[in-house]
Amino acid sequence: MSDRLLVLVRHGQSEWNLKNLFTGWKDPGLTEKGIAEAEAAGRKLKAQGLSFDIAFTSALTRAQRTLTLMLAELGQSTLPVIADQALNERDYGELSGLNKDDARAKWGEEQVHIWRRSYDIAPPGGESLKDTLARALPYYVQEILPFVLRGKRTLISAHGNSLRALIMVLEKLTPEQIVKRELATGAPVIYTLNADSTVASKVDLAD
């Protein structure tokens, strides 16, 4: 499994996930449950017999802490880690920090649903999933994929929307398919890639 290995993990539950707030580029920490999820993700990867050569994460604390906890479980705390805001969560703009129910009261259920679940309609001052893809994908192609194709086992700890952008490309999903795709917190998705960067195999370790 070590040939051209790429593993994606959404961070563990954050304090704002728990409070039902739009988070985006805001930087809350992990909850106790989120810490447990991150540690469990590390144990799941270890149980698969996996180790890594390099890791990537976003510029946000919840993804970085998740990665640190996973690497501790793997016995790889000294692994080289590259952090970049290209892997940050989607920027929710004016929604950031708002309770999702309060946002529905302000803008209406239908409008908030469109912002959350459409591919290319952004909330005020924020990013759509398409916008997130436009920054995450070039970073993946230029900075991450070359490591994978050289046989470097690569771990990415990031966010629901930045990872969905990568999954859209890896799994060749349409905009309609990717907006319906949910990623569980702390659940590794293991890909092996072919030499042409297409997916050879996929294992989803979600419970």
**Helix, strand or coil for residue 81?**
strand
Tokens 């916008």 correspond to what residue? 131
Catalytic residue among 15, 39, 89, 109: 89
Asked if 162 and 136 count as a contact pair (C-beta separation under 8 A), the reply is yes
State how far the Cα of 66 lies from the Cα of 131, in Å rounded to an integer. 25
Catalytic residue among 11, 37, 127, 159: 11
**Token pair belonging to 175:** 């905009």
Burial of residue 207, with CB atoms counted within 10 A of its CB: 0-12 exposed, 13-18 middle, 19 or more buried = exposed
State how far the Cα of 112 lies from the Cα of 204, in Å rounded to an integer. 29
* Active-site residue, 182 included: no
* Active-site residue, 11 included: yes
165 vs 17, 111, 179, CA distance in Å?
Answer: 20, 22, 10
Residues annotated as catalytic are 11, 89
